[in-house]
Amino acid sequence: MDRWIEETFHPHWRVRLEADEVLHEVKTDHQHLVIFKNRTWGTVLMLDGVCQLTTSDEFIYHEMMAHVPLMALDKPKQVLVVGGGDGGVLREVLKHPSVERAMLCEIDREVIDTALKYYPEIPGSSFDDERAVVVIADGRKFVAETDERFDAIIIDSSEPIGPSAVLHTPEFFASCRHALKDDGILVTQNGLPFMFPDHLRETTRAFAALFAHVAPYMCTQPCYFGGPFAINWASDEDDHLDLTIKKLEKRQEKRGITTRYWTPAVHLAAFALPQYAETVVREAMAEGSLSYVGKGGRGKAKPVKKLRA
């Protein structure tokens, strides 16, 4: 008999995916993890009723998490990925030839082992790259205590519920800011702003209290049901947003990077938010900017520049 596995993340509606073959399933007192095959989505990972990834469309999320910040940097050398044990973001980071070290901090080694066993096409050979450094540790603790300084920090966490909630707090973002170089870029996933605007709002407010420039951007991630997917960006360097298609094309050609979703035009267009998201962002930026006056911030968060074609 066919088995249908239901996504239960949304409180008032459900999406079901057919499980042609269940590859792995474990239920504990803390979580329910299931990995299965689907003829449309390929291999699917669901955790506690939430679709985490599919091998059919994972490239979209991973490319946009990695290439938007790294293509904005002239020569990114030191990159930290917090979470991301499936290796997809690490794979994309390592496409940049200037990267000397890509550090991945994952709290659970089993996440990496699961990826290598059930969907090895996602990490590919990234964990074997001599520039990759894997640290098994609590990301919050690692970032708070590290003496390293990074060109980019990419927070590849799940939704702000359960154990991942600590990676969405102002305190954690403050530690990330300290671990960045002066012109570094911080990005983190912000979920589906149409369905859950508070996720985007809270991160934007926290970023605006810490950085001079906040610039959420969006992509279309088919397996994340509920509208466009948001990723938030923060930096103190405004030149990272002063980009043109021509400049990005030159960087892509020089670095020899091939992609399936990211393009220079998509890069620029991603920062154009629909009005419902723009309203959330501007209100949160105003609140965040005011929240740190007199607390040693680097300057009031500025409106996002209009990116030029």
DSSP states along 64-106: HHHHHHHHTSSS--EEEEEE-TTSHHHHHHTTSTT-SEEEEEE
What is the Cα–Cα distance from 121 to 108, expressed in whole angstroms? Answer: 20
Comparing 3-54 with 58-291, is the CATH topology the same?
A: no
Write down the CATH number for the domain with range 3-54: 2.30.140.10
Q: Identify the pLDDT of residue 294.
A: 32
What is the 8-class DSSP label of residue 59? Answer: H
Residues 4, 18: contact at Cβ < 8 Å?
A: yes
Alpha-carbon distance values, 278 to 51, 180, 226, 282, 308 (Å): 26, 27, 17, 6, 18
Q: Provide the residue ranges of all domains of the chain, joining segments of one domain with +.
A: 3-54, 58-291
Return the residue matching tokens 């997809």: 88
Q: Is the Cβ–Cβ distance between 200 and 191 less than 8 Å?
A: yes
| Per-residue model confidence (pLDDT) at position 238 | 86
Catalytic residue among 57, 86, 156, 236: 156
Of 31, 35, 32, whose CA–CA distance to 21 is shortest?
35
In 3D, which of 203, 234, 194, 212 has the Cα closest to residue 292?
212
Task: Write out pLDDT tens, residues 106-129.
Answer: 988 999 999 999 999 999 999 999
pLDDT at 288: 77
108 in catalytic set: no
Q: Quickly name the fold that domain 58-291 has.
A: Rossmann fold (3.40.50)
pLDDT at 219: 98
Residues in the chain: 309
Q: Are 76 and 152 in contact (CB under 8 A)?
A: yes
Q: Is this model's pTM higher than 0.85 or not?
A: yes
pLDDT, one tens digit per residue, over 123-161 is 999 999 999 999 999 999 999 999 999 999 999 987 766
DSSP state of 163: G
> One-letter amino acid identity for 188?
T
pLDDT in tens, 215-245: 999 999 999 999 999 999 999 998 999 999 9
CA distance 62 to 156: 9
What pLDDT score was predicted for residue 308? 43
Residues of the chain with pLDDT under 70: 1, 29-30, 160-163, 290-309
Look at residues 281, 156, 309 and name the one whose alpha carbon lies nearest to residue 216.
281
